[in-house]
Amino acid sequence: MRLSTEERAMRDGDGGDAVAAAMDLLIRYGEGLGAERLCAVKNVAGTTTQPTPAKTQLLREGGWAKAFAVTSLDCDRDVEIPPMRVPTCQLQQGFSADALQITPYNPHLVELQEGAEAFATDRGINILATCTPYQVGNLPVFGEHIAWMESSAVVYANSVLGARSNCEGTTSTGAASLTGRIPYWGNHLAENRYGTHHIDVRYPVRSFQDWGLLGYFSGGLVQEERPVLTGDLADVDSEKLKHLGAAMATSGGVEIFHLPGVTPEASTLEAAFGGRDVPDSVPYTDAERRSAYERLNSNGSSEDVDFILLGCPHASLNQMREIADLLDGKTLNPGTELWVMTPRALRSVAERNGYVAAIQRAGGKVLTDSCPAMSRVAPEGTRVFATDSAKQAHYLPAILGIEAWFGTTRECVEAAISGRWRGELR
């Protein structure tokens, strides 16, 4: 791998042992990927503070510095961890202390996370605690090289913002935060960002649910490749693009998609494919839409619903307002819990606007920092849950062993009020 003078100096210890370990890791990582060089990044998003059993053991052995060295730098030596070299943020993590009276989350993990947060903030890591950093001010510019984790955030950054990131991990983002470098491969190269599959949307896609179903179908079709979507698409907005990308990254491993005329690297269909021949299109009709819906609802059998989950990826202010409006003057079924997940920074705005109070008056809970998948908890006794998120409907049955229903936001709120699932594909 070709290294600049500055990169060689970091490798040789000019920035200290931790920086040298980080550079050694990135060189090994990059060479394993076939990268010829590193590229500079000034925006890193990782999960340093998420409590895990491995970190618990490392904390006993040598404190949070030891835990960071092993899990974020692949380094077994005792090294001092300096401040981050470039702006770095914490993505979603476990629930915090304010959720202990609401969720059955282990208080010991909250205590561990608080220690990790103190260690991280002392080194300049911003605790955004959300899977949607772009909703709370972390907005990389078009063409900017970044190093982000979290599949739904990466596909949004690449596709909607036009930034350039692969789907990184804890270790590579830890090393990137101390060096300001990441291997130059994959989505960092222009030629790897062009479309590979053309999907012709023939069924009208307008609603939030339909954008999610289209994403779930597309990800299952292309897996880790790059779909280009054209056809009967309208009423697009940032929430629907968030839902579309998250669903693609769930049923497949999509890290970038293109909507000609909407996303920044695809002014036309031809541009989306980089001037190459446009492949034969795959139709998306009512049959494909219904198949995606049935797959997402294949884990549901009982119509008695214990738990409603909204806000995956974390809800925007518009979504919070919609939920508050749907709950206005209503009361939840006594046997059904409703959790709404949103970034902590947006919750403060939602409180000011009265959305949080409206949800709470109905009996719902507004939670931040995490989600049931990350914290691996649901309300005690949950057997059946419903959600408007294709991602959670896909993952939670496997993670928590519960049944799942997928529907519209309105259907989910109505189920929270009645305790019964009445969703259907309209």
If you write DSSP's letter for every residue of 193-215 in order, what string do you get? SS--EEEEEEEEE-SHHHHHHHH
pLDDT at residue 268 is higher than 90: yes
- Dist. CA 262–CA 79, nearest whole Å: 47
> b/e per residue, 400-421, with b = 16+ CB within 10 A?
bebbbbbbbbebbbbbbbebeb
Instruction: Find, among 127, 154, 125, the residue nearest to 140 by Cα.
Output: 154
Q: Would the pLDDT of 51 be above 90?
A: no
**Which pLDDT belongs to residue 82?**
98
Mean pLDDT of 247-270: 98
For residue 304, pLDDT over 90 is answered with: yes
| Mean pLDDT, residues 178-198 taken together | 98
What pLDDT is attached to residue 337?
Answer: 98
Query: Euclidean distance between the first and final Cα of the chain, in Å?
Result: 55
Residue 97 vs residues 103, 301, 344: alpha-carbon distances, Å? 10, 34, 13
Query: What does the pLDDT read at residue 128?
Result: 97
CA distance 235 to 240: 9
Is residue 398's pLDDT more than 90?
Answer: yes
DSSP for residue 331: -
Mean pLDDT for 259-263 is 97
Mean pLDDT, rounded, for 46-71: 93
Q: Mean pLDDT over residues 166-187, rounded?
A: 98
Residues 6+ apart with CB under 8 A from 305: 336, 384, 385, 386, 405, 415, 416, 419, 420, 421
The model carries a pTM of 0.97
pLDDT of the residue at 50:
87
The pair of structure tokens assigned to 153 is 């955030």
Per-position b or e across 296-313, b if 16+ CB within 10 A of its CB:
bbebbeeeebbbbbbbbb
Number of DSSP helices (H) and strands (E) in the chain, helices first:
16, 14
Segment 350-377 shows an average pLDDT of 97
Average pLDDT, the chain: 97
Q: 46-55, 229-238, 329-338, 354-363: which has the minimum mean pLDDT?
A: 46-55
pLDDT band at 290 (very low <50, low <70, confident <90, very high): very high
Position 312 scores a pLDDT of 97
Mean local confidence (pLDDT), 111-123: 96
* Angstrom distance (rounded) from CA 364 to CA 337: 7
